[in-house]
């Protein structure tokens, strides 16, 4: 694979990089979790000290208001900057991943004023963190809806150019259309920026990971019993490690064709799904075998995928403990390669 030349920047590395020297994606695997503006410093201390994680992905959706002039409110900016600063304070390699209008990408992509406001926000972020580190910029979380296939490639290049005029150093991250799933790579063109990583998400099969039945986490008792990993037929296919490998191969095919680096920015499963731990272990092992860093969804954010909550309790929240899930993740976070 033809990767951009990179120097290793480990979590905890002090402050500013020299002049316009690149702050590239680290050579050691980034293993981490997604989190939101609701994370507390106590949460992060636990994550860093107890879990020994080396990275995180900070996600915020519907960043821009749907009414003109669509500029990000000062209150929301403060939430974003405070959270970024907190992650950096604790030495985490932090990938910032916003979206402008997550509930309606078509409304966003069809509106030049909306798009302009999103570019302007990214320019402000680039100016504020130009000399910070370790950090990377994920240009948009899960581009989707009808217009994304046609508009995202050009807009990703526009965002890249706008950020690079201010911040030539930090790694950029680009996801494919189709909600960031690896199948969307067939519609994605590399931006041409040498310090860009291409990210994908995975939650297949959704009837298992999201326990679907007319909505997420609404599977009946009978559906829950029948949906077992590995080996059950779900959404018309038998799901096991071999089936998961087919999804990884959609991403590695893009990597190998274009000579770029890839990263799995989201994956997860309802903690009470039957076989959830082996499902997660198989997916992580497939990523690790391909030297693909990963970030699970999510740390102390969405209760159904909060791995510290009791997997024997379907629905609702429980006290947090060291579950089999947590022990699984700690095993991987302890790796230094």
Question: 160: domain CATH number?
Answer: 3.20.20.80
Backbone angles phi, psi at 326, to 5 degrees: -60, -45
Q: What is the DSSP string of 73-118?
A: PHHHHHHHHHHHHHHHHTT-EEEEEE-S-TT-HHHHHT-HHHHHHH
Run of H or E residues at 262: strand 261-267
Total number of domains in the chain: 1
Q: Which of 158, 203, 229, 191 is nearest to 34 (CA)?
A: 203
* Beta-strand pair 233-234/237-238: antiparallel
Q: What is the per-residue pLDDT for 241?
A: 98
What tokens were used for 123? Answer: 């320019």
233 part of a folded domain? yes
Tens digits of residue pLDDT in 40-51: 999 999 999 999
Q: How far is residue 150's CA from residue 141's CA, in Å, rounded to a whole number? A: 17
Q: How far is residue 95's CA from residue 118's CA, in Å, rounded to a whole number? A: 17
The greatest distance separating any two alpha carbons of the chain, rounded to the nearest whole angstrom, comes to 60
Q: What is the per-residue pLDDT for 90?
A: 96
Q: How far is residue 87's CA from residue 183's CA, in Å, rounded to a whole number? A: 31
20 part of a folded domain? no
Q: What is the per-residue pLDDT for 164?
A: 98
92 part of a folded domain? yes
Tens digits of residue pLDDT in 244-267: 999 999 999 999 999 999 999 999
Tens digits of residue pLDDT in 263-306: 999 999 999 999 999 999 999 999 999 999 999 999 999 999 99
310 part of a folded domain? yes
123 part of a folded domain? yes
Q: What is the per-residue pLDDT for 229?
A: 98
Apex 317 CA angle, 314 and 320, nearest 5: 110
3 part of a folded domain? no
327 part of a folded domain? yes
Positions of the chain with pLDDT under 70 = 1-19
Q: What is the per-residue pLDDT for 19?
A: 61
What tokens were used for 191? Answer: 């931006």
Q: Are 136 and 197 in contact (CB under 8 A)?
A: yes
294 part of a folded domain? yes
- Domain residues for the domain of 216 are 31-331
């Amino acid at each position: 694979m033809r990767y951009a030349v990179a120097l290793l920047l480990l979590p905890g590395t002090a402050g500013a990089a020299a002049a316009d020297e690149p702050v590239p994606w680290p050579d050691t695997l980034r293993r981490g979790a997604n989190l939101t503006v609701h994370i507390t410093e106590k949460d992060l201390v636990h994550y860093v000290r107890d879990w020994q994680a080396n990275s995180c992905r900070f996600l915020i959706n519907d960043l821009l208001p749907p009414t003109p002039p669509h500029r990000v409110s000062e209150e929301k900016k403060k939430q974003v900057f405070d959270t970024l600063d907190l992650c950096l304070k604790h030495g985490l390699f932090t990938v910032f991943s916003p979206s402008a209008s997550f509930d309606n990408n078509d409304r966003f992509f069809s509106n030049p004023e909306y798009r302009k406001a999103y570019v302007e926000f990214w320019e402000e972020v680039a100016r504020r963190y130009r000399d910070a580190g370790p950090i990377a910029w994920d240009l948009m979380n899960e581009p989707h809806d009808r217009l994304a296939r046609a508009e995202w490639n050009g807009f990703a290049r526009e965002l890249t150019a706008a950020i690079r005029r201010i911040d030539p150093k930090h790694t950029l991250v680009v996801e494919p259309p189709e909600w960031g799933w690896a199948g969307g790579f067939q519609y994605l063109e590399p931006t041409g920026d040498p310090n860009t990583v291409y990210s994908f998400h995975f939650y297949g099969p959704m009837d298992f990971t999201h326990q679907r039945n007319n909505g997420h986490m609404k599977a009946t008792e009978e559906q829950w019993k029948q949906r077992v990993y590995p080996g059950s037929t779900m959404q018309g296919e038998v799901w096991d490690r071999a089936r998961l490998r087919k999804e990884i191969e959609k991403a590695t095919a893009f990597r190998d064709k274009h000579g770029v680096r890839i990263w799995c920015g989201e994956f997860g499963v309802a903690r009470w799904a039957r076989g959830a731990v082996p499902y997660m272990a198989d997916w992580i092992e497939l990523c690790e075998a391909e030297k693909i860093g990963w970030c699970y969804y999510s740390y102390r954010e969405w209760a159904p995928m909060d791995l510290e909550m009791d997997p024997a309790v379907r629905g609702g929240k429980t006290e947090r403990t060291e579950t089999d899930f947590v022990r699984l993740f700690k095993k991987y976070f302890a790796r230094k390669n």
